[in-house]
Structure 1
């Protein structure tokens, strides 16, 4: 009897911890890499990440209104910091998981030159950007146009998407011949896979530091804590790098 009980206890100890689930709000520009991170995360930990993609500004409003997200992967550093200040995120949990790059892109080869001089052509009908009030990549696009003294010329021809994903869709479908998108959206195996592109020099806009933060609703969820830890590890950093981001040091 004692031997059987001892065997049962040893068997219970050997069992893996119960897998959990974490609800994650993810900036639209990070869609593809986060899908890969989620697969690697589940394989490594057994936990499942339930993902929602959209604009950082929209997610902020949803969290303020009680949306049950447990982790936010923003497209900026300001939104997670604001959520911390407002008591909606766990103080001290915020860190930079990726540094993004802005690119001027066309789905058609030969349209965008390597210096971005296409922005000075008056015959280009429309330019897609993400809403600068909601999406940090949109704000970076406006900052770039302002620095080049081209914002006024382009203002009547701007096509705004709610998120960087929608801005990319406008260009991919031909509704806009060119657009500012995230490099990660058009990069495959270390190069722009389709069309033509100009990677915007980093000096033309503020760094796009993308921060993750643990939201208050996830503070007692082991799966949420595990994901925050996994995002700092080598497997996640390799995925970040492969999609055109610079992982934070």
Structure 2
């Protein structure tokens, strides 16, 4: 059974990414599992959902993607998700502090990485220039996720500051609503280069070249999740988390450049 996916209003569909999965029919006795997920997880989560539904055909999974800050605000207002997978574990911890999660429901699941990314046909030598690619005279616009509510955007700003280019490119920054829209800006030519999640650079159909930003150039992107207090099927949510944190889930995440939490 394949999952249905709904894009949040804040998330713009990526031209370089595949479309949403088809509708499924759940067992009438199952309430299903509703996941709110950070945009960097798009393709890794598609594989995880497929693996989960193969083991639990009675549970229909639906996923909504967006920036972690947008999802946090929706959950704080009671959005009907059972499981939250954020790009920043502190958001999950905040939900726990506000009494919105199950007592045992918060966990770290991955560490994300960021890259300087250009389309495959770009004249920019991203691999050779690294962060200096942002400073080339031909670069008119540099795309990053909005640091106000996207953890990958904050990491991008921190890395640019650490590597000494932020002051010279800040006036050319264009902000995506989330890291997936940031990739879209570069892919469609709205920006010449971007700083995006490695997981999106490794996604099927993402034809680009990149330089991986050193991990010590920015604070770790420690990603975390939470099972919500109002989860309709807590057992299904826990089973999904067990898959995510288990050997099969780790292998899927690793294929998209995610590292295990320390």
TM-score, normalised to structure 2's length?
A: 0.83
Residues 1:19 and 1:238: Cα distance change in structure 2 (over 3 Å): farther
CA contact (8 A) 2:32 2:233 kept: no
Q: Is 2:255 the partner of 1:248? A: no
Q: Tell me the distance in 2 between the aligned counterparts of 1:185 and 1:193.
A: 7
Aligned to 1:23: 34
What per-residue deviation string (whole Å, max 9, x for no partner) do you get for residues 29-65 of structure 1? Answer: 0001101100100001222221001100000110111
Please state how far the C-alpha of 1:188 moved relative to its aligned partner.
Answer: 5.2
Aligned to 2:81: 69
Residues 1:29 and 1:166: Cα distance change in structure 2 (over 3 Å): same
- How is 1:188-227 mapped onto 2 (pairs within 5 angstroms)? 194-218=207-231, 221-227=234-240
Q: Tell me the distance in 2 between the aligned counterparts of 1:132 and 1:145.
A: 12
Q: Tell me the distance in 2 between the aligned counterparts of 1:81 and 1:219.
A: 21
- How is 1:226-241 mapped onto 2 (pairs within 5 angstroms)? 226-241=239-254
- How is 1:1-249 mapped onto 2 (pairs within 5 angstroms)? 19-46=30-57, 47-107=59-119, 108-111=121-124, 112-116=126-130, 117-187=132-202, 194-218=207-231, 221-248=234-261
What per-residue deviation string (whole Å, max 9, x for no partner) do you get for residues 99-143 of structure 1? Answer: 111001001355113341212324311100000011100000000
TM-score, normalised to structure 1's length?
A: 0.87
CA contact (8 A) 2:31 2:232 kept: no
CA contact (8 A) 1:20 1:222 kept: no
CA contact (8 A) 1:114 1:197 kept: no
Q: Tell me the distance in 2 between the aligned counterparts of 1:87 and 1:114.
A: 48
CA contact (8 A) 1:94 1:214 kept: yes
Please state how far the C-alpha of 1:92 moved relative to its aligned partner.
Answer: 3.2
Q: Tell me the distance in 2 between the aligned counterparts of 1:30 and 1:238.
A: 14
Q: Tell me the secondary structure at the aligned position of residue 104 of structure 2.
A: coil
Structure 1 residues without counterparts, runs of 5 or longer: 1-15
CA contact (8 A) 1:129 1:159 kept: yes
Aligned length: 231
Q: Tell me the distance in 2 between the aligned counterparts of 1:90 and 1:158.
A: 39
Q: Tell me the distance in 2 between the aligned counterparts of 1:188 and 1:42.
A: 21
Please state how far the C-alpha of 1:220 moved relative to its aligned partner.
Answer: 5.0
Please state how far the C-alpha of 1:247 moved relative to its aligned partner.
Answer: 2.8
- Over alpha carbons, which structure has the higher Rg? 1
